[in-house]
Amino acid sequence: MGGKNPIHLTKDSPADDIQPAFSPDGERIAFRSERDGGGIFVMGATGESVRRLTDFGYHPAWSPDGKEIVCGTEKIDRPGILYASRIWRVSIEAASGPGARQPLTRTIAAQPHWSPHGHRIAYLGREATQRDLWTVAASGGEPVRVTDDPATDWNPVWSPDGDHLYFSSDRGGSMNLWRLAIDEESGRVRGAPEAVTTPSPFSAFLSISQNGRRLAYVQLHSTANVHTVRFDPAQEAVLGQSEPITQGAREALAAEPSPDGEWLAFRTGGKQEDIFLIRPDGTGPRQLTDDVHRDRMARWSPDGGQIAFFSNRSGRSEIWIIRPDGSGLRQLTGLGCLYPVWSPDGRRLACSPETGPPVLVDAAEPSNQQTPERLPEWADPKVSFRPWSWSKDGRKLAGDLSPSDGSPSGLAIYDVDSRAFDQLTGYGSHPSWLTDSRRLLFRYQGNLHLVDSRSKKAHQVLSAAPHEVVDTFGLSRDNRRIYFSLAVTEADIWMMSLK
């Protein structure tokens, strides 16, 4: 503190090294690294004696005695994004022995932080589409809810005395810092949230000194706008530089081109999440939904006459249908479902229930008359398959693999006729079929890659560095245009006095 020369701790690693966490005694640092397949590593405070702790995990946090860490299985670097993470306890000295790794949560949970006297773990959790803060006893058990409202809350951190839980929230309009009085042993909340105002439009990633007198945080400015780039399917390469379609501070995510190429559907991020249309040249924006509900992942029907999306407007996540002119809004599913994927003939949609294997539903039937067809489960019960794209020949569904034990995820294909699965990769997400029903584009570490489903050989086709491709992306019908959201981030570290 107060020094002028930063020390490069991971200069021997060409891989990304992120999320450092000091041990309670200040002698060691746990961190996430992408080296050797990725996982949690531990090193000395000056970068020496690096060793692997796990082959999974993000956001490591130490126990007060320095003998264990907790970590989530999903990277959370933006508010409101949380898919299928779980929290694990890991022994520092016996990371691979019996009982050295133990699951702590059964529900979706990430960004854990250990309370100062070791009683509880605070974390970001999700029920349906609502994301709130929770705590759970360090030994496991039933979690206790900390927040329960539409605000976007994340990044919980205990105060050193255990009397308060600090966190980032947009409940005041912008993403700023807040705190709640809390009982560390029981997790019982002892008051309403209090603002801890910083001179920043977006504050997050906070850390409190052990004496409780200073708080460091990141002042962040991030935009996500839709871009497009030309793509040559024969050469399997992008052509030229990408061009922006949307502009401004409002996040524009998950762009999907209409079958005739005249429109793009996308969703906005932030406090209000709605579905919009815009022409590929950036003109003619049209808002399809405008309400407090979280409307996400707009997908065009093959004939362009309907748009499917998932929303919590019924009280939990369901698939809804709307026409491109904003009329005809109707609920399609009634079993709690996310991520709609149209069949090539437009008669069915695949979607992912909140629990259990994916299902196929009839696109014409109302929600109360549906008889969903369940897909088989993945061979390993700890792994779930989530469809993202249906091949043009109608024979295969491509999707993500989401292991609940924190092991590396990957891509897989489900054969509709044989009802069998085939794993493609051990990494990546959001696969999208090319029209040849053989190759797929997918996202990995903020860039786009291509994989051949027969040879299973993959390579990078688009690098967004130093920026990042986020959320899902879209392909034009002729596969000669890719539409994606590019996140551009600027950030500085600030410090404030608490007392």
Residue pLDDT, tens place only, 199-254 = 888 999 999 999 999 999 999 888 999 999 999 999 999 999 999 999 988 899 99
Best CA proximity match to 338, nearest among 150, 142, 147, 108: 108
CA distance 300 to 388: 13
* 8 A C-beta contact, residue 352 and residue 389: no
Residue 331: pLDDT above 60?
yes
Phi, psi of 392 (to 5 degrees): -65, -30
Residue 27: pLDDT above 70?
yes
Give the distance, in angstroms, between the CA of residue 7 and the centroid of all CA atoms in the same chain. Answer: 31
| pLDDT for position 77 | 82
CA-based angle 310:311:317, to the nearest 5? Answer: 85
CA distance 342 to 88: 35
* 8 A C-beta contact, residue 399 and residue 84: no
Phi, psi of 267 (to 5 degrees): -115, 155
Enter the DSSP assignment of 395.
Answer: S
Domain boundaries, the chain: 17-212, 231-489
The pLDDT tens digits of the residues spanning 42-87 come to 999 999 999 999 999 999 999 999 999 999 998 888 787 777 789 9
pLDDT above 90 covers what percent of the chain? Answer: 77
CA distance 102 to 89: 5
| pLDDT for position 376 | 95
In this structure, how many other beta carbons lie within 10 angstroms of the beta carbon of residue 109? 26
| pLDDT for position 249 | 83
The pLDDT tens digits of the residues spanning 414-460 come to 999 999 999 999 989 999 999 999 999 999 989 999 999 999 999 99
Give the contacts of 243 (CB within 8 A, at least 6 positions apart).
227, 228, 229
Residue 407 pLDDT class (50, 70, 90 cuts):
low
Residue 369: pLDDT above 90?
no
User: What is the topology classification, in CATH, of domain 231-489?
Assistant: Neuraminidase (2.120.10)
User: What is the topology classification, in CATH, of domain 17-212?
Assistant: Neuraminidase (2.120.10)
- The number of helix segments (H) and strand segments (E) in the chain equals 0, 41
pLDDT above 70 covers what percent of the chain? Answer: 98
| pLDDT for position 110 | 95
* 8 A C-beta contact, residue 386 and residue 413: no
Per DSSP, helices labelled H in 53-198 are none
- pTM of this prediction? 0.82
* 8 A C-beta contact, residue 132 and residue 145: yes
Residue 272 pLDDT class (50, 70, 90 cuts):
confident
Residue written as token pair 């600030």: 494
* 8 A C-beta contact, residue 226 and residue 254: no
CA distance 352 to 25: 44
| pLDDT for position 2 | 79
How confident is the model over 121-133, as a mean pLDDT? 89
Residue 262: pLDDT above 80?
yes
Asked whether the domain spanning 231-489 has the same topology as the one spanning 17-212, the reply is yes
| pLDDT for position 22 | 97
Best CA proximity match to 258, nearest among 295, 288, 301: 301
